[in-house]
Structure 1
Amino acid sequence: MTLSITKWLALIGLAFFITACSEDQVQLAPMVVIEGATMGTYYRVKVVTDKITDQVAFQAEIDKRLELVNDQMSTYRPNSELSLFNQAEHSHTVSADTIEVVQKGIELAQLTQGALDITVGPLVNLWGFGPDAKPTHSPSAEQIAKRKAITGIQHLSVSGLTLQKAIPELYVDLSSIAKGFGVDKIAEYIESLGEQHYLVDIGGELRMKGSNDKHLPWRIAVEKPVTNERAIQEIVLPGDNAVATSGDYRNYFEEDGERFSHMINPITGMPIKHKLVSVTVIDKSSMVSDGLATAIMVMGPELGYDFAVKQGLPVFMITKTETGFSEQYTQQFAPYLLQEAK
């Protein structure tokens, strides 16, 4: 049920884990917890309620919605809507959901000036981070140029419910935003039931509302970007929002002493080489926070921070230094930080 491993391998267990509350004497509220697998990773849903009495039926409704997203947008399913478009020479008619996600991908590509590009899949595959092969060596400049020639958001357009491509080789991969879309769909379903206190987590992409079973706002721990331990960098109280983190410190390969990240810059066709290792973004939409985290990660510490400030985005960034790590965040992110965690 995988959409793409490009970003998700780096996000499995990366982004957040729910922190425990120190107030052990608080009277707990009833909470329904559902767990499963989807899109090449886990999902976890928590709803603070006493109204959901049939958990089997509740999970079946969640699974049905997640399966639909896979049937629409998975590049691993040859008969998904997106796969059929990728196989088509010119166009293919798809669902309104797929159109919504593609249109958001085009919008984010324009907003980020190409740092997020849902057509970058051929370059990702060339570097060995796609579904076809594991990374073993870097490609030649000629190979990169050939793949760049068949990528680019300018070759993709939408007309009604029809996706159109200007070149037959164009390949669309929605993994940078489709998982967030799945989170949003589950959150919307929960709210349609009248529930106002929940947390949805798909592979580290989260959206939450209300309070937890201890009657306190949901607390989210941003993980320290190290590979040999699980440690907390900061604790965040996102409120009624979605949160996404993108990082490059768990998925890479090395060749002749040089480290190649799985994060491919669509503009250069090369893996990123800057020192930014983790980006966290808060937004009302999980799909948007998902895409923006990827784009800012590609931009790097200076351009990414300037972009976040210009757009007024709540963004938290961790950069590797000679002595460890430094953190930087926009003024819009500051209210979400738990000060006692410092």
Structure 2
Amino acid sequence: MTLALAACKPDANVLKISGYTMGTTYNVVAIDKNRRVDDREARAKIDVALQRVNQQMSNWDNTSEISRFNAQTSVDSVALSPELMALMHAAEQVHQASEGRFDTTMGPLIELWGFGKDGGKRVPTDAQIAEALAHSGHGDTLIVGENTMQKKQPHTQVYLAAIAKGYGADQVGEALETLGITDYMVEIGGDLYASGANAEGLPWQIGIEKPAALSGGLIDVVGVSDMGMASSGDYRNYFEQNGRRFSHIIDPVTGRPITHRTASATVLAENGMLADAWATAMLTLGREKGLMIAEAQNLAVLFIERDTSSAELVFKPTASTRFTELTS
């Protein structure tokens, strides 16, 4: 997604703060109507919020709470922070509602296909996929309790990359609100939460990219206010072997990269955390099955498919009823 910024009114203090977190970039635009907050104060609040999220949920920090959980091999219950438990409860709910297509225990499969820390993208054997599947899956490897989490298998690993960025955007938003700022847009690695209005008094104008790494451009621009928004696509991280294309989006049920024509899924939700998780789930499901679940769950989703009947690169968008309602 790309941010389309309107021109700013001269009587508003528009704070624009960017940086790096969670292995990606973040961008914050906040409207200080009363001109009482300076950049340093806002950045300090943002830094504290992001540090807290990383200390709890970063898989790249060996000292984080989730990394410590992953490192221990006990199958006893482990008490975790309220924030991490809230995120895991949300992950569990999306996992169940998406028929297992959102799953934070896919580490063995991600590493097997070479999309993890070790790299080396490759096509594994059927036996290797079956072995990785046996060590993946919420129901088979993890118990999410009220205040504790428990491994069913000693080497279970929990990866939060597909939900933590959206959660981080929510937390930065809450930090800005402690400064009295209620009009803001927080984006982390393409996942965002937008509150109130931009400097023109309009919903934040967010562009939805065409799912093509080289051609670029936008499919649409939508107004977002008091909602999270996230897009997931298969068009940047992939490899080819023997004339076949293998996406980094792996179906937790089959253990293999997706093969359907859906190239991206964009989700609007009540917060960034849920938008982030559902975008991954919806892309994994694909337009046909995903739209059925979106309608049943009253989810706002825009699917973009490749039109394979055309000789040129053509995309076909399909919106759920709720997405149309929110963006009309």
TM-score normalised to the size of structure 2?
0.93
Q: What is the distance in 2 between the residues matched to 1:51 and 1:303?
A: 48
Q: Report Cα offsets for 1:214-235 as digits up to 9, x if no partner.
A: 2222111101111113201001
Task: Describe how 1:31-70 pairs up with structure 2 within 5 A.
Answer: 31-49=14-32, 50-70=34-54
Matches within 5 A, 1:174-253: 174-253=160-239
Say whether residues 1:17 and 2:7 are aligned partners: no
Quote the offset at 1:268 in angstroms: 0.3
Task: Supply the distance in 2 between the matched residues of 1:129 and 1:148 (Cα, whole angstroms).
Answer: 16
Question: Residue 12 of structure 2 corresponds to which residue in structure 1?
Answer: 29
Matched-pair contact (CA < 8 Å) for 2:229–2:266: yes
Instruction: Report 1:53-202 matches (<5 A).
Output: 53-89=37-73, 90-91=75-76, 92-135=78-121, 137-154=122-139, 155-202=141-188
Q: Which runs of 5+ in 2 are unaligned?
A: none
Work out whether residues 173 and 186 of structure 2, in 8 Å CA contact, stay in contact via their aligned partners in 1: yes
Q: Is the 8 A contact 1:247 1:297 kept in 2?
A: yes
Which amino acid in 1 is paired with 2:137?
Answer: G
Greater Cα shift, 31-40 or 156-165: 156-165
Separation of aligned partners in 2, 1:313 and 1:252: 28
CA distance in 2, matches of 1:30, 1:58: 12
Shift of 1:27: 5.1
Find the counterpart in structure 2 of residue 334 from structure 1: 324
Per the TM alignment, residue 30 of structure 1 is displaced from its structure 2 partner at its CA by 2.1
Q: Residue 101 and residue 189 in structure 1: after superposition, are their counterparts in 2 closer, same or farther (change >3 A)?
A: same
CA distance in 1, matches of 2:101, 2:37: 45
CA shift at 1:48, angstroms? 0.6
SS in 1 for 2:19: strand
Q: Which moved more, 1:251-260 or 1:125-134?
A: 125-134
Matches of 1:74 and 1:25, distance apart in 2: 35
Which residue in the other structure is 1:5 paired with?
none
Q: Helix, strand or coil: the match of 2:258? A: coil
* Structure 2 residue 305 is the aligned partner of structure 1 residue 315: no
- How far apart are the structure 2 equivalents of 1:296 and 1:44? 25
For the residues of structure 2 that align with 1:53 and 1:304, how far apart are their CA atoms?
A: 43
Q: Partners of 1:285 and 1:327 in 2: how far apart?
A: 23
Q: Report if aligned partners of 1:28, 1:213 keep a CA contact under 8 Å in 2.
A: no
Offset of residue 317 of structure 1: 0.8
Give 1:260's aligned residue: 246
Q: Amino acid of the residue matched to residue 149 of structure 1?
A: A
SS at match of 2:85: helix
Q: After superposing the two structures, state which structure 1 stretch, 308-317 or 152-161, moved more.
A: 152-161
Aligned residue type for 1:206 = L
Considering only aligned residues, what root-mean-square deviation do their CA atoms show, in Å?
1.6
Deviates more, 1:327-336 or 1:297-306: 327-336
Shift of 1:138: 0.2
Q: Secondary structure at the match of 1:293?
A: helix
CA–CA distance in 2 between the matches of 1:47 and 1:20? 12
CA distance in 1, matches of 2:241, 2:144: 40
User: Residue 26 of structure 1: CA displacement?
Assistant: 6.0
Verify the 8 A CA contact 2:13 2:35 in the aligned structure 1.
no
Superposed CA deviations along residues 288-325 of structure 1, whole A, max 9, x for unmatched, are 01101100100111001111111111111100012211
Deviation at 1:159, TM superposition (A): 3.8
How far is the alpha carbon of 1:65 from its aligned partner?
1.4
Contact 2:302 2:317 in 1 (8 A): yes
- Paired residue secondary structure (1:175): coil
Task: Say whether the 8 Å CA contact 1:207–1:286 is kept in structure 2.
Answer: yes
Q: How many residues align?
A: 320
Which secondary structure state, in structure 2, belongs to the residue aligned with residue 333 of structure 1? helix
Work out the CA distance in 2 between the residues paired with 1:33 and 1:71: 25
The answer to whether residue 290 in structure 2 is matched with residue 304 in structure 1 is yes
How far, CA to CA, are the matches of 1:226 and 1:63 in structure 2? Answer: 33
Percentage of matched positions with identical amino acids:
37
1:52 shift after superposition: 4.2
Q: Which residue does the alignment assign to 1:12? A: none
